[in-house]
Structures are given as C-alpha cells and as structure tokens.
C-alpha cells in the first residue's frame, strides 16, 4: 500500500501552502500552531499522520526565530506521531548568509540550523535559491535545491526588451551570466565594497549599459541598499531604465522607503516570502508565484521520481 502524502503549513506562508495544494489537487492538512502568553510556541497535529509522507511548508523568513522554532517543533510533533518521512519545504532558508566564518569567534549559523532540523527528525529538505550553494553540504540528508529562474525568465522575456542583465556584486556573476545566456542578452557587473553589515558602496559598472534596459538580479533583497546604489550607478552610466529581480523579498528596515525613492522602475519578486506592511502597498513590487514549481517537486519526491529536471 503506497504511503499517503500530507501537506501541512505553519504560520510563515500559509497562502503559498494553499496554492501548492491547489496545484496538486490535495487538501491542506490540519495543523494548529499558536503561542502561549509567555511567547512559547504550541503545536498540535489535528489529523492522523501515522505512516504518511509529510511535507511541512515553512520559509524561515522574518520573524526568523519564531518561524524556525515553529518548524522545528512541528517536525518533532510529526515524528512523535509516527510520520514515515518528514520533508521540510523551505522556499526561503533563514540564516543562509551566515554560511562561513568571516571573522574569528563567530558561528556558522546556517550549519547550526541544519543540525537542529536533522536532530528533530527532518529526513529531507526542499529549498529554493539558497544564498550559498554549499549549505546543501551542511545536511546529512537529501536536499533538493530548486531555482526560481524559469518563472523569472518568463516574466523578463514577456515584459522587457533591449535587456542587459546586471549582477549587483561579484558573488552573483554566475547566476546573472546564466540568465543572460538564456535571454541572449549582455552582462554587466557592479563593483562594490561592503563596509559593514547591511551597508555597501557601489563603485563602478563593468560593461556597457548605455541606452539599455538594465535588469539587476539578486537572490534576495534585504535593506535594498545594494540594489538602489547599483541602480543609481547604472543610470549615471547611461542605462535607459533600471528594473530589479530577486527570489526572496526580505525587505527589512528602510527597504521600502529606499525603493520608493530610488530610480528602480520595478522590483520583481517571488512569493517565497509573503509581503507585509508597507511592501503590500508599494506599486513598484510585482510578485510571481513559484507555488506550482514547488508543487511539482513535492509530487516527484512523494512518488520517488526525479526532481533534477526542475533544476534549471
């Protein structure tokens, strides 16, 4: 008898979980995740999961610690309820930027998060556009790493012309080059220097952007300092207009204010992280859904089919 698939959602992005279930034609299973008055998290699985193939949809987006603890406690609850296999579906992996020691006496927090997830009983991880690909090696369990590229590329093809793809820093060149190749577009790079966390200075543009529609590409937008500084340099160097694309709209601190005041015409993001607060009212932001892509991956994991064809 084949094991039953059950999809649950904690509180981080329930609308995405509902979209995933709609794409698969299955109901969203019942899970109660609440807080006690002292802030402790309470989890109760509201249906039988014995012998089931369980998928828990929970990006660890802000508030990161609350959502991470919700996921860890929910995995523990599923294991104690005798689920056969538990897969953490993490479209956004919080703490991904702390993937190595950049100074003495600092932690590698993304590794610690991986160890916590494995310790409570996670047996597989499905994630999207990790900030650092080596995070996959922090797990001793299978990790399926998807990319939002197919969705973003379709939007760029159908919306913009005379495009040049721009990497906002040296670290994103490989990602941006892959987009430029698929779009048959040119590539430019912003040379920048980061002085301290959440602050950077864009220095100059490598490549000719004169008269072109510049598309800045990054894996995430946090405080938007990088993108807005890069956009100003691109306009200064003769770009006709500047747009930005990213997978994960973290949009913390002054991000929305900076975006509104910048020369960026539009910011295209995915629904890996739900917009909140001022971001919901920002006309410059366009949200694309990656729920169907995640649904396909979940279906293939459940049926033990290859997921690699989705790794674009």
Strands 199-206 and 186-196: antiparallel
Neighbouring CB atoms inside 10 A of 37's CB total 5
Tokens of 109: 């927090």
Burial of 108 per CB tally in 10 Å (0-12, 13-18, 19+): middle
Q: Are 273 and 13 in contact (CB under 8 A)?
A: yes
Nearest to 135, CA basis, from 116, 113, 153, 156? 113
Nearest to 45, CA basis, from 34, 33, 37? 33
Annotated active-site residue 46? The verdict is no
Q: Are 279 and 137 in contact (CB under 8 A)?
A: no
Catalytic entry in 192, 233, 265, 284: 192
Q: How far is residue 288's CA from residue 91's CA, in Å, rounded to a whole number?
A: 13
Nearest to 219, CA basis, from 90, 289, 129? 129
Q: How far is residue 290's CA from residue 301's CA, in Å, rounded to a whole number?
A: 17
Cα–Cα distances (Å) from 173 to 25, 95, 191, 242, in that order, read 38, 22, 11, 18
Crossing angle (nearest 10°) for helices 109-120 and 64-80: 20
In three-state secondary structure terms, 140 is coil
Q: Are 124 and 136 in contact (CB under 8 A)?
A: no
Question: Which residues are marked as active site?
Answer: 192
């Amino acid at each position: 008898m084949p094991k039953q698939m059950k999809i649950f959602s904690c509180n981080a992005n329930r609308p995405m979980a509902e979209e995933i279930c709609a794409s698969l034609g299955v109901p969203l299973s019942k899970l109660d995740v609440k807080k006690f008055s002292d802030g402790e998290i309470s989890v109760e699985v509201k249906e039988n999961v014995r012998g089931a193939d369980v998928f828990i949809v929970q990006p660890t987006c802000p508030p990161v610690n609350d959502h991470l603890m919700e996921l860890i406690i929910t995995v523990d609850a599923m294991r104690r309820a005798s689920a056969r296999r538990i897969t953490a579906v993490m479209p956004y992996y919080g703490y991904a930027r702390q993937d190595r020691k950049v100074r003495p006496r600092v932690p590698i927090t993304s590794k610690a998060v991986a160890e916590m997830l494995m310790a409570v009983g996670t047996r597989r991880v499905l994630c999207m556009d990790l900030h650092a690909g080596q995070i996959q090696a922090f797990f001793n369990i299978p990790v399926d790493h998807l990319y939002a590229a197919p969705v973003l590329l379709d939007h760029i093809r159908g919306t913009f012309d005379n495009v040049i793809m721009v990497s906002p820093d040296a670290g994103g060149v490989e990602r941006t080059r892959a987009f430029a190749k698929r779009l048959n577009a040119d590539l430019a790079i912003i040379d920048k220097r980061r002085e301290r966390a959440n602050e950077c200075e864009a220095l100059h543009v490598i490549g000719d952007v004169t008269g072109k529609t510049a598309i800045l590409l990054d894996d995430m937008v946090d405080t938007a300092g990088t993108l807005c500084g890069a956009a100003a340099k691109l306009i200064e160097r003769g770009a006709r207009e500047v747009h930005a694309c990213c997978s994960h709209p973290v949009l913390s601190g002054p991000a929305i204010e900076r975006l509104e005041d910048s020369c960026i015409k539009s910011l295209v993001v995915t629904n890996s992280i739900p917009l909140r607060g001022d971001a919901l009212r920002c006309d410059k932001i366009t949200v694309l859904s990656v729920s169907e892509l995640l649904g396909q991956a979940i279906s293939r994991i459940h049926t033990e089919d290859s997921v690699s064809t989705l790794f674009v």
